[in-house]
Amino acid sequence: MEDECSEWLGECLKVFPKLGKNVVTARYYRLPKKVLSRIKMYNLGLEDVDVEALLLRGERKSEVKVDLSKFYEIQINRKLREIENKEVRKQIVQNIMIHDLLHAERKDLETPGKNKKAKQKKAYEKEFEEEVFQRYNQLRELNGLPAIQKKEDLDLAISKVLTKLNEKASQHAKKPSKRAEPKS
């Protein structure tokens, strides 16, 4: 199942040509119940160490730092693996990945959004969600699937699947555990 995340991420990257030089990975990960995904960014850099200073004087002096690229890790909630229909699971996971990749492309992970005013944030979020929807439809068309006409329909479908998944998990949690009776 871990390979499916990598495969689906490869498909998603087709609609993000600007992220081509960056390294991006995706895998299922243990996340809190209400968190569908998380994206982390790491800078891949190369420090050139002054060899003479290190070997002869024991001093570590870095000379020039070369920034190679960024490394993004998308962590998908492993509870999503429980969606039985693989194609439905793929559509939901890819929608989540596109959301995270758009954050990476817009460099949202590098700049904190705390300085924005409430009105700016609302406008930004609406524009952001619309672009996620457009990119998701682009990916569907590349995969030979018809575009979804309304974002609300997509949101409703995803919500319905996630609700069913949560109900299934809560029913599973309510079952009493079978403890072995003590032997007399």
51 in a structural domain: yes
52 in a structural domain: yes
What SS3 state is found at 108? coil
Number of structural domains found in the chain: 1
78 in a structural domain: yes
Q: Which domain holds residue 35?
A: 2-170
- Say which residue the tokens 């492309």 belong to: 105
Asked if 114 and 32 count as a contact pair (C-beta separation under 8 A), the reply is: no
180 in a structural domain: no
pLDDT by residue for the chain (184 residues), tens only, comes to: 558 999 999 999 999 998 877 889 999 999 998 899 999 988 766 566 677 777 887 777 665 555 556 789 999 999 999 999 999 999 999 999 999 999 999 888 776 655 556 556 667 788 999 999 999 999 999 999 999 999 999 999 999 999 998 888 777 666 665 555 555 4
Six token digits for residue 45: 């850099």
B/e letters for 109-135, b = 16+ CB within 10 Å, e = fewer, are eeeeeeeeeeeeeeeeeeebeeebbeb
176 in a structural domain: no
175 in a structural domain: no
183 in a structural domain: no
